[in-house]
Structure 1
């Protein structure tokens, strides 16, 4: 039974890292600098950097803005992230 001091959290560090690695790779492939991409996607530059470093997880709306700027669908971005996540899980064993 949870104690009164325990808190539920939706932050998943490995998922955040997988998302960050995925968007970084796709952004670099596209040829955009991080700050320019954040500006085009209408995301605070500092916050976008935290996303790429796996320190934050995006909301659905932000995921869709980023995928649009990458020129792919949100579902395709999620699929790429799942591939990265599987790779990270295998390497963590």
Structure 2
């Protein structure tokens, strides 16, 4: 199965044990390898976030693509994946 990267945005993410983690907000690519590296559960608005905030999102609110087990109507990740709950807009 193939899909466009743009189709991943907004896709709900669940663990293999059916725990809802959030939705895909941004996608980190390795352009040299042509691979998806990470899926973030918080948007990375370039120019609006400090470097430390971006690092925090990558550390606490993203999933390494190596932890993804299936992609379709939803994204299923390994049951051991943990992320911090995304911040809610105030």
| Structure of larger gyration radius | 1
TM-score w.r.t. length of structure 2: 0.26
Higher helix share: 1
Higher strand share: 2
